[in-house]
Structure 1
Amino acid sequence: MFYELYIRSFCDGNGDGIGDLVGAEQKLDYLAGLGIEGIWLLPILQSPAYHGYSVTDFFSINPIYGNLKELRSFLASAHRRDLKVILDLPINHTSPSHEWFLRALDGERPYRDWYLFLQNEDWLKARRHWDGEKVWTNYSGQWAYTLFGPGSPDLNYESTSLWQQMKEVLTFWLSVGFDGFRFDAAKHIFDFSIEKGICEYQHSRNIAFWKEMTSHCRSISPDSIFVSEVWDDARIVDLYSAIFGIGFNFPLAEDLKSAIAKKDPELLVISLKTDLNRCFRAKRSYESGLFLTNHDMSRLVSSMNGDRELSLLSMSVLLSLPGVPFFYYGEELGMEGVYNMYFNEEQLEPFLWYENGYGPGQTEWKALGKNHPHSGVSYEAQEAVDDSYYMRFRAILEFRKSNPWLRFATIKSVKRKETLIMLKVTGESKSANILHNLGTKKIAVDLNADVQVINGTVSKYRNKRYLGALSSAMEVTE
C-alpha cells in the first residue's frame, strides 16, 4: 500500500506554517503505523506553483520544503522503517521560468530544440484533446506549445539531447535515494503531430521513450518502482502499464465510487468484471494501481455526498482486490474537498492534526474551507475513539496489511445475490470468499467460523450468520 503525500499540507517542521521534509520525517512513525509500505511523494522540485508540477530546476528541491541533506535524512528514515518512497516527477513540461525555457526564447541551442515553437500558422488552430482549449501561448512574440496551459510549456522530445538530459535527471534522484518514480502525464510525451499540425497521441513513440527511460533506471537500480498516470481506456492503459509495472486503474476508481454511491450491486459487478479483467488471469503483464481518489479528484467523503459509511465500504471493496493500493493523505480522517479544475485547492487542505487547528507541526499555508477545527475530523479527536472514522479506516488498512497475498491473487468469479456481492479469489498460499453487502439491511450469508471482518459487522443468530448493512467480510476457504 502506498500513501500519496502532499508535503506542503502534511507537517510543518520549522514553524513557518508550510509542510516540509523535516516535519514529514517526524511523522514517519505515524505513516508506518497505518500499515503502508510506501510513500508516493507529490512533486518537491523547485517550482513557483503550489502544486509543484511546473518545474524551474530538475536538480533542486523547492527551498520551502527543505534541502538535499534533509531529503536524504527523510529517505533514510523511511527506509529504516521498510518504507519505499517514489518521487512524482513531471518531465512532460517545465515552468516558463525555467532557465531552459528562458534560454530557448533567446534562441540558444540546445535549449531552443527542447521546446516546440510554432513553425506553421495553421498549427494555431489545434485544440486540446479533452476540452477544446487552445494549446499555443504567445511569450513576447514567440509561440510555444503549452498543452497544460501558459504556465507549463511542453518539452520537445523530438530532441535526442533532451532524452540524455532526462536520463541525468533520473540518475540524480535515484542516487539521492528514491526507490522509483510516478511519471506524470505519461501519454503526453508525444501528443502533437508536426506533420498534421494537430493534437494527436503517438502511443508507439511514447512507449519507446518510456522503455528507454525505465531501462536506464533499472540499469542503475534493478528494483526501481514505476507507476504510470495514463487516463485512458483499458487498451491504452495496458500498453503503458506493461512497461512501468504498475498502472493506475482510473476506470475502476470512477466506476467503483459510482456503484457504491448509488448502492447499485449490479453496477459494481459490471465494474469489477470490466475494469479488473486482467485480474481474472493468473499471468499478468502488470499490476493494477488501485485507488479511489488523488490530488486531481474530489475527496472520498465528498464523492459519497458526505456519507462516511459509504466511504468506508468503498475502501473495503478496494482493499479486497488484487493489485497495489494507493490512498490520498487525509482520507483516513474522512477529510472533505471538492475538486475544481480551475481552482483545485479544496482537496489539498492541511492535514488536521489538532482539534482546534493549531499545534506543533500543524500546517497553516491556506485557510480551511471544508475541514474546520472543532468538527471532529482531526486526528486528535479520532485516534482515541474506537469506532471513529479514522479507527475504522485504519482497521481496513490492517486487514489488507495482514493479507498481502491478495496483491497477486486471481479473481475466480464475481457473483451477485440481491444486495450481496461475492468474490472468489485464489492466491499462491490461500483462497477466500469475499463478501460485500451494498444494502441497508443485514443479510444472511453462508460463512464458516474462519471469518475476517473487513468493515462493519458479522453477527450470528440461531445458527445463521448475517453480514451487516454496508459491511464487508472475508472467509478463508483453504
Structure 2
Amino acid sequence: MLYKIFAAALAAAFTLLLLPGCKDQAKPSETAEVIYHVCQRSFYDSNGDFNGDLNGLREKLDYLQDLGVTSILLLPLYESVYHHNYFASDFKKIDPEFGTTDDYLALVKDIHSRGMKLYMDMETQYVTQEHIWYKDSYNNPKSKYSNYILYDDSAQTKPSTIVFELNSLKGYDGVEHKITTVNLKNKDVLEYNYELFKYFADPNNDGNFDDGVDGFRLDHAMDTLDLKPRLTGLFKAFWSPLLTRLKQVNPKLNFVAEQADWSSLGIDYLTKANVDRVFNFRLAFAIREFDRDKIMAMADSSFSATPAGKQQVVFIENHDMPRFAQVVKKNAGKEKVGAALNILIGGVPSIYYGQEIGMVNGDKPDNVYGPTDANGIPLREAFEWYSGETGKGMSVWYKDTGPWWTDRNMKPNDGISYEEQKGNKNSLWNFYKTVIALRKNNQAIGLGQYQTLPNSNKQVVSFLRYTHQQAVMVLVNLSATAQKAEVYLSASKVPVNRLGSLMSNKSASAKDRRVTIELPGYGVEVFDVK
C-alpha cells in the first residue's frame, strides 16, 4: 500500500479433441466471476456517521447483484489510525467505524446466501506504534515481542524503516504515527499469521465456511520485503508455508497477490509463493494508454505465461491509481472501451467502486497534500449515489476536514452518479451491466482462454475467447472515428465460418481465412463464432 502512496509521486480450446494438450484456463466448477473492489469507508453509511460501514455494504448487495457482480474485495477491515486501514494497530480487531464482529459475520453470511464471494485485503508486514508488538518491545529487549518486528539496534530504540526508508506517516488528520516492519522470518510471526488468516476463513473453527471469507488479497507482497537483507527468500520462508497450511483448512481459498513491482507479470508469485492469482498491471497500463499493439501483446504474453490452474486479475483502476475516467478526461466513448476490455479480455475482471459510473479523482498532483495519507482521498471519495452530493448513506467521512474536501471531485448534476445513470440506457453504468451480462451468459467470455487475432487496423483490438463448447470474437475500436479492419484467421485455434453479433444485428462471414468488420467510433462488437 505505502509503495503505491508514494510511487506516483516518485514518479480452453474450442475442441479438446482437435487441440490435444490445450487446457481451459478456468476450472469446471468456476463461474463467470466479476470482482467489485470496494473502499468500504466510502461506499454506503448505514448509521449516519458519514463512514461507510459493513451494514451499509450489506444494504447495497442488491445493487451489486443488479450490476452483475459476483464477488466483493474489501480494503482492510482491521483497526488502523489511517483512513485506508493499512498499517494496523490491531490485526484482530475490526475497525469500530465499520461495525462489530456480529455485523461482519452477518455480512459474510448474507453474501454467501446470495451465491457471492467475499475477499479480504491483508497487509501484515507493517505495524504502527499503537500495536502491541511495537509498544511492548520498544526500548525493551526482554519483551516477548522483541523478535516480532525489526530493530536496527540492540537496545531496540531504532525500529527499522519501511519502504522508501520511512519510519512514520502523517494521517490526513495531521497526526503523525510511527510505523515499522514486521519480522516475517520469525516462526512465531508465521504462526500468528496462520491463526489470523485461519480465523477469518473459519471464524468459529467448525469446518463450515459459510461465515468465512473466500480468499485474501495480499498487499505489497515481496520475496525480499522492501529489499531488506534480513527479509530475503520470503516466498519460501513465509508466503508458501502460510498459504499451503491455509489451503489445508479450506482448499477453496483463493489468494491474489499484489506484486510490488507493477512492471512485473508476477508469474513468480504463482510458481513459487503458492498464490492463485496476480494483478495484471501491465495490461492495465496498456489499456489506459489506448495502444493497440501493447494491449494485444500484454494480453497475449500474460495469459500464455500463466500456469494452468492460476489466473490473472484484470483491472483498469484501483485504490492507488488515478481513476480511468480521469485518465481519459471523462470521454464517454473511451470509458466504454475501457469497460469492454476490462470485462471481456480474459482472466478475472475487477471493477473498482465508482468506476462503473465514471467517478474521477481530479487533476491535482498526487502529492499535493504533502507526505500524508490525504493524497489518497481523491482516489477514495464517497460513491456518488445521487445526482446531488447529499442523500441517505453518502459516506463523506472526510467532510470539512481540509482542502481535499473543499476541492472534492464530487459535483452535483454532472452525470456522474448512479441516480443519473440507472435509467439512461446509453449510460456507462448500463454499458457495464451489458458487458457483465455478456460475460455471465457466454461461457467463452466467462471461463474461456484468450487468443490474439491479428488485424489490419492499428486502431482495432481483436481477440478470440473460447472453451471446448463456445467461441466468441471480440473487436474494439480505440478511436473516435469509424474503422474497418480485416481480421486474419489463419492461426485461429477454432474454425471461423459465420459470425453473429451478441450486441447488435450485425453478422459477417469468413472468406479465405479472414473476415472484414466495420466498427463505429469507440465501437465494441462481440461475435458468436459458428
Distance change in 2, residues 1:378/1:211 (3 Å): same
Q: Where does residue 290 of structure 1 map in the other structure? A: 314
Following TM superposition, by how much is the alpha carbon of 1:237 offset from its aligned partner in structure 2, in angstroms?
Answer: 0.8
TM-score scaled by structure 2?
0.77
Query: Are 2:471 and 1:471 equivalent residues in the alignment?
Result: no
Q: In 1, distance between residues paired with 2:517 and 2:467?
A: 26
Among 223, 227, 240, the alignment partner of 2:252 is 223
Indicate which of 464, 476, 485 corresponds to 1:436.
476
**What SS does the aligned partner of 2:461 have?**
strand
**Cα distance change, pair 137–19 in 1 and its aligned pair in 2 (3 A):** closer
More relative contact order in 1 or in 2 (CA 8 Å, sep 6+)?
Answer: 2
Q: What is the letter of the counterpart of residue 2 of structure 1?
A: I
SS at match of 2:135: helix
Alignment of 1:296-311 (within 5 A): 296-311=320-335
Match of 1:396 among 411, 417, 435: 435
Amino acid at match of 2:529: T
CA apart distance, 1:448: 4.5
Q: Distance in 2 between matches of 1:60 and 1:127?
A: 25
Give 3-state SS (helix, strand or coil) of 1:164's partner: helix
Cα deviation 1:377-403 (Å, max 9, x = unaligned): 111111111112221222222222222
Q: 2:209 matched to which residue of 1?
A: none
SS in 1 for 2:50: coil
**Aligned residue among 313, 316, 321 for 2:340:** 316
- Measured in 1, the distance between the counterparts of 2:414 and 2:236 equals 47
- Equivalence for 1:143: none
User: Aligned equivalents of 1:120 and 1:474: distance in 2?
Assistant: 64
Once the two structures are TM-superposed, the CA of residue 245 in structure 1 deviates from its matched residue by 0.9
Cα distance, 1:120 vs structure 2:
8.9
Question: Compared with structure 1, are the counterparts of its residues 399 and 97 closer, same or farther at alpha carbon in structure 2 (3 Å cutoff)?
Answer: same
Which ranges of structure 1 fall in alignment gaps of 5 or more residues? 139-148, 196-200
Alpha-carbon offset, residue 376 of structure 1: 2.0
Is the 8 Å Cα contact of residues 459 and 466 (structure 1) preserved in structure 2? no
Q: Which amino acid is the alignment partner of residue 235 of structure 2?
A: N
Q: Distance in 1 between matches of 2:473 and 2:145?
A: 57
Pick aligned residue for 1:420 from 460, 471, 485? 460
> Residues 151 and 428 of structure 1: is their aligned pair in 2 closer, same or farther, counting only changes over 3 Å?
farther
Q: 1:376-391 counterparts in 2 under 5 A?
A: 376-391=415-430
Aligned to 1:80: 113
8 Å contact from structure 1 (residues 207, 240) kept in 2: no
Say if 1:4 and 1:249 are closer, same or farther in 2 by CA, change over 3 A: same
- The code of the aligned residue for 2:220 comes to A
SS in structure 2 opposite 1:397? helix
**CA separation of 1:275/1:117 partners in 2, compared to 1, >3 Å: closer, same or farther?**
same
Change (3 A) 1:128 1:92: closer
Please state whether the residue corresponding to 1:417 is helix, strand or coil.
coil
Give 2:449's match in structure 1, choosing from 410, 417, 425. Answer: 410
| In structure 2, C-alpha distance between the alignment counterparts of 1:104 and 1:354, rounded to whole Å | 49
How far apart, in 1, do the equivalents of 2:187 and 2:42 lie? 38
Contact 2:344 2:435 in 1 (8 A): no
The offset of 1:135, in angstroms, is 4.3
Kindly provide the CA deviation profile for residues 181-218 of structure 1, in whole angstroms up to 9, marking residues without a partner as x. 101111166444447xxxxx73x433441111111211
How many angstroms does 1:153 deviate by?
1.1
Is the 2:185–2:234 contact (alpha carbons within 8 Å) kept by the matching residues of 1? no
Change (3 A) 1:428 1:188: same
> Aligned with 1:435: secondary structure?
strand
Q: 2:100 aligns with which of 67, 79, 91?
A: 67
The aligned counterpart of 1:179 is 214
Give the superposition deviation at 1:106: 4.2
Q: Take 2:37 and 2:178, find their aligned partners in 1: how far apart are those partners?
A: 24
Q: Any idea what the Cα deviations from partners look like across 1:287-323, whole Å, max 9, x if unmatched?
A: 0110111000011100112212112101212222221
Compared with structure 1, are the counterparts of its residues 285 and 236 closer, same or farther at alpha carbon in structure 2 (3 Å cutoff)?
A: same
| Displacement of 1:432 | 2.1
Residues 15/193 of structure 1: CA separation in 2 closer, same or farther (3 Å cut): closer
CA distance in 1, matches of 2:257, 2:344: 22
Q: Secondary structure at the match of 2:125?
A: coil
Partners of 1:127 and 1:110 in 2: how far apart? Answer: 21
Structure 1 position 257 matched with structure 2 position 297 = no
Is 2:50 the partner of 1:17? Answer: yes
Q: 1:52 to 1:128 in 2, by over 3 A?
A: closer
Task: State the alpha-carbon separation in 2 of the partners of residues 9 and 190 from structure 1.
Answer: 30
In the aligned structure 2, how far is the partner of 1:361 from the partner of 1:284? Answer: 43
Of all paired residues, the percent bearing the same amino acid is 23
Letter in 2 for 1:159: N
Offset of residue 88 of structure 1: 0.4
Q: Alignment RMSD, CA only? A: 2.8
Query: What are the within-5 Å matches in structure 2 for residues 271-282 of structure 1?
Result: 271-278=298-305
CA distance in 1, matches of 2:35, 2:236: 25
Query: Which residue does the alignment assign to 2:492?
Result: none
Check whether the contact 2:330–2:358 (CA below 8 A) recurs between aligned residues: no
Deviation at 1:441, TM superposition (A): 2.5
- Give the CA deviation at 1:420: 2.4
- Give the SS at the match of 1:376: coil
Q: In 2, Cα distance between the equivalents of 1:187 and 1:404? A: 34
Alpha-carbon separation, structure 2, partners of 1:316 and 1:233: 22
1:370 corresponds to 2:409: yes
| Paired residues of 1:231 and 1:250 also in contact (CA < 8 A) | no
User: How do 1:187-226 and structure 2 match up within 5 A?
Assistant: 187=222, 190-194=225-229, 202=232, 204-226=233-255
Matched, 1:161 2:188: yes
1:232 maps to a residue whose letter is: D
Provide closer, same or farther for how the CA distance between residues 351 and 404 of structure 1 changes in structure 2, counting only shifts above 3 A. farther
**Partner of 1:96 in structure 2?**
129
User: Cα distance, 1:407 vs. partner?
Assistant: 4.4
Deviation at 1:276, TM superposition (A): 3.7
Q: Secondary structure at the match of 1:33?
A: helix
Larger mean CA deviation between 9-18 and 396-405 belongs to 396-405
Q: 2-side partners of 1:83 and 1:325: how far apart?
A: 15
- What is the deviation of 1:273? 3.2
Q: 2:185, 2:237 within 8 Å by CA — same for their partners in 1? A: no
CA distance in 2, matches of 1:366, 1:327: 23
Q: Is the 8 A contact 1:459 1:465 kept in 2?
A: no
Q: In the alignment, is residue 117 of structure 1 matched against residue 167 of structure 2?
A: no
Among 357, 366, 370, the residue aligned to 1:340? 366
* Offset of residue 271 of structure 1: 3.2
What is the letter of the counterpart of residue 25 of structure 1? R
> For the structure 1 residues 267 and 250, does the alpha-carbon distance in structure 2 shift closer, same or farther, using more than 3 Å as the test?
closer
Counterpart Cα distance in 1 of 2:393 and 2:238: 41
Q: Residues of 1 paired with 2:161 and 2:184: CA distance?
A: 20
Q: Map residues 235-246 of structure 1 onto 2, 5 A cutoff.
A: 237-242=266-271, 243-246=274-277
Shift in CA distance, 164/460, structure 1 to aligned 2, threshold 3 Å = closer
Contact 1:316 1:396 in 2 (8 A): yes
Number of residue pairs matched by the alignment? 444
Gaps of 5+ in 2: 1-33, 170-175, 204-211, 400-404, 487-496, 509-515
